[in-house]
Amino acid sequence: MSHARWPVMLWLLVMVVAIGYLLTHWRMVNDLTLFLPEEHSAEQRFLLHQMRDGSQTRQLFVRLSGPDDASLARHSDELAHRLDDTKAFSQISNRTPTLESLVATKWFAYRYLIDPQFDMFRFTKTGLKQALSARLDELRSPAYRPFQSLIPPDPVAAFRRWLQQSHGDSPFQSRHGVWFDNEERALLIVTTEAGGFDLDAQQHAVTTIKQLSERIDSAVSVDIIGAGVIGLATRDTIRQEVQYLSIGASFAVVLILLLAYRSAPILLLAVLPLSSAIVAGMVVSIGVFGQIHGIALAFSVTLLGITLDYPLHFFSHRHSSESSAQTMHRIWPTLLLGVISTLAGFSIMAMAVFPGLQQIALFTCSGLVAAALVTRWVLPVLASRVSLQGSSISALPRRVRAPRQWSLLVLAFAAMVLYLDEGVRWQDNIAVLSPAPERVLSKFQALQPSQTGSPDSRLLITADTVESMLQLCERVLPQIETLHQDGLVERYVAPCQILPSASRQRVRQRHLSDVNGISNAVTQALHDMPFKPTTFQPFIDALNRSAELEPLVLDDIRHTHHGRLLESLIGKDGEGVTGQIMLYGATNLTSLQNRVRESADLFVISTHQAAQGMMMQFRQELTVWLGVGIAVIATLILLVTRSLHRASRVLVPVLTATAATVAVLRIMDVPLTVFHLIALMLVVGLGVDYSLFFQRYESSQQRGGTRHAITVCAVSTGTVFGMLALSELPILRAIGITVVIGIILAYVLSYLSQESSPANLS
């Protein structure tokens, strides 16, 4: 074997081992939570927990449309039973529980311990007399007829008060016993065990529902909506888009390279660094994370398109008077500086708050290193026998004479645009994190049952245990009631309204321990009343039993209707428990916040405001890291050139292009998101690459090669990202538009900034 060929053999060996590793360890996931930021504060932790695993993200709305209400109701029940039999779902609901079914639950046995307005006065002779008179009046009204059977076991109406305050009413209308939505469709709510972003689990859930619903009447049509379904539709769109874009981009790049080099062998060799980069990225990602995310893979492969530039620099600089090794040796320092600059840019994503972006950073950085190594040591060996005849390198135009102050003029224009338009406009809506296309989101938002309202703000209670959270909730509830009385809150739902703390239940047990005394009070209260003397024996029996009960806890009632409602108000994670008091119609958030500020364990958050604040914080962090990235690149170039003047000649076109990209986006009225910032980092990386080559010290013949290389690079990269700009996916579109504008500006400004005595970057 020739000494020069060992890098090729080593590369082949590494590729074989890497592909073998991928075949045995390949694991791709589609959990979209990787693209949610990691939480910082308690509010953010809660908010993101709700987004990842909140009951709303796990709910699927199954709607049945058909000929008549009666048959729809029958099919709704049938489907609910079938789904229940699978044991695959945590909850299936299609009807509000009847009073009879509620009386059969543990809640009824605990009615005197969970009464939201417990007052010992009710158990005195006077209190009981008042209660019995009230019940007598109610017996005259058909409106209270459903509660008639509850009078003997509960004359003080404790259970009824609890029912009224525990918010167990369904927002849906009920016909033939089952729920219907406003569009006359029978409605089932199926709650999955897995979070809405676990797309594989959601796919399984949707398939199960569809399979079971197919067995019911063919005249009944079934549709399913919910966060999981949006996720699945988004995944399908991403798959389709990535497929179309990959084919389109590959075709476009092949065409550009064939036009530029008119050589099939060069075309084949040009893809080696890119394909090696993709394999390396996959191996490192799976090695570090144990899996690879579908979207991370798609985005990384897109970003690694930059590695296609490396062989292009090499081929464009080649000429017949030198060997391929000599060509590589000549351009390597500049190429290496470009690689390091791009590495610095991409590695910034590792600092991002999204684990998905961290995976993209690792994938792309390892890919860049692999592509650089293959370009440096493998490509020259394989390209040594490739003929350059037919190449159109010399056909490219020579340098256009233009004022060197172009960059400064453009920079001034960008500054003026941003100044006149009141600076950069940011989009801090958390919805931008969603990879779902607007078409998919708006379709499902329109289908969502309108009855499912969400609160304006929430009061969060953090504690170590559910019990301590409930105790804190009980302490703050009078304040909330005052806010309600003052008109600051229209209505509220609190976990301790459904289940009082165990300590409060024990206190009530102690109060109710004198059952004989209460029994005597009943006898006295019955004087002059038309009730038969033994009517209230079930009441006395219930009081006797209440004294002996173990306090009711969440685990006892988890699978009841109200238990599930309670669970939806409680979030648990490794750091403790967060209870939420839902505040509806909250008009003055600041006043609310001031009133509850006394306790460090309480936070009032507006879901919308908190999400926006979180996004703003993440964006500010990313902006800082973007600045750090640019500073690192600038320092690197300064160290290499050892001259402020020379470094500025490389950097000014790049920074101008970056600023002008922001200005153009402002003119286009595109608000910036975190994804635009990431794309800007890529623009800086690519721009530095172009500028470095344009500013190299070269002969006029070498200049031709440089212009050819950078033109082909810019055209191919611009074409690929131009395709992304046409994507339906907001993230891809944001990256595509930004990079296309940035590349055009970086190319033009770097080109115009060439000088007759360029900086010596060799």
Interacting residues with other proteins (CB under 8 A): 95-96, 98-99, 136, 139-143, 145-146, 148, 151-152, 169-170, 173-177, 530-532, 535
- Report the distance separating Cα 332 and Cα 96, nearest Å: 73
Nearer to other proteins, 41 or 535 (CB): 535
Nearer to other proteins, 257 or 543 (CB): 543
Q: How many CB atoms lie within 10 A of CB 478?
A: 9
Provide, rounded to whole angstroms, the least separation between the CB of residue 560 and other proteins. 16
Provide, rounded to whole angstroms, the least separation between the CB of residue 137 and other proteins. 9
- Report the distance separating Cα 122 and Cα 128, nearest Å: 6
Q: How many CB atoms lie within 10 A of CB 356?
A: 22
Provide, rounded to whole angstroms, the least separation between the CB of residue 152 and other proteins. 6
Provide, rounded to whole angstroms, the least separation between the CB of residue 170 and other proteins. 8
Residue length of the chain:
762
Residue 427, CB half-sphere, CA atoms under 13 Å: how many?
A: 18
3-state secondary structure of 175: strand
Reading the block at residue 372, the tokens are 């650089």
Nearer to other proteins, 20 or 487 (CB): 487
- Report the distance separating Cα 307 and Cα 379, nearest Å: 13
Provide, rounded to whole angstroms, the least separation between the CB of residue 151 and other proteins. 7
3-state secondary structure of 221: strand
Nearer to other proteins, 139 or 502 (CB): 139
Nearer to other proteins, 95 or 676 (CB): 95
Nearer to other proteins, 535 or 609 (CB): 535
Q: Where does 104-157 have alpha helices with state H?
A: 106-109, 111-114, 125-139
Q: Kind and range of the H or E element at 733?
A: helix 730-752
Nearer to other proteins, 164 or 208 (CB): 164
- Report the distance separating Cα 376 and Cα 328, nearest Å: 7
Reading the block at residue 624, the tokens are 């800082």
Nearer to other proteins, 155 or 551 (CB): 155
Provide, rounded to whole angstroms, the least separation between the CB of residue 349 and other proteins. 52
Provide, rounded to whole angstroms, the least separation between the CB of residue 572 and other proteins. 32
Reading the block at residue 123, the tokens are 């158990």
Residue 107, CB half-sphere, CA atoms under 13 Å: how many?
A: 31
Which amino acid does the sequence have at 209? I
- Report the distance separating Cα 116 and Cα 114, nearest Å: 6
Nearer to other proteins, 130 or 170 (CB): 170
Q: What does DSSP assign to residue 148?
A: G
Nearer to other proteins, 146 or 265 (CB): 146
Nearer to other proteins, 138 or 728 (CB): 138
Nearer to other proteins, 139 or 441 (CB): 139
Pairing label, strands 89-93, 186-192: antiparallel
Under 8 Å CB-to-CB from 756, ≥6 apart: which residues? none
Q: Where does 304-354 have alpha helices with state H?
A: 309-317, 324-347
Under 8 Å CB-to-CB from 404, ≥6 apart: which residues? 752, 753, 755
Provide, rounded to whole angstroms, the least separation between the CB of residue 63 and other proteins. 18
Q: Kind and range of the H or E element at 683?
A: helix 674-694
Provide, rounded to whole angstroms, the least separation between the CB of residue 163 and other proteins. 11
Provide, rounded to whole angstroms, the least separation between the CB of residue 43 and other proteins. 34
* The three-state (H, E, C) secondary structure of 454-484, written as one string: CCCEEEEEEECCHHHHHHHHHHHHHHHHHHH
Nearer to other proteins, 142 or 574 (CB): 142
Under 8 Å CB-to-CB from 700, ≥6 apart: which residues? none
Nearer to other proteins, 86 or 537 (CB): 537
Q: Is 121 exposed, middle or buried (0-12, 13-18, 19+ CB in 10 A)?
A: exposed
Provide, rounded to whole angstroms, the least separation between the CB of residue 162 and other proteins. 15
Q: What are phi and psi of 717, to 5 degrees?
A: -65, -45
- Report the distance separating Cα 234 and Cα 712, nearest Å: 34
- Reading phi first (left if > 0) and then psi (alpha if -120 to 50, else beta), residue 184 is in left
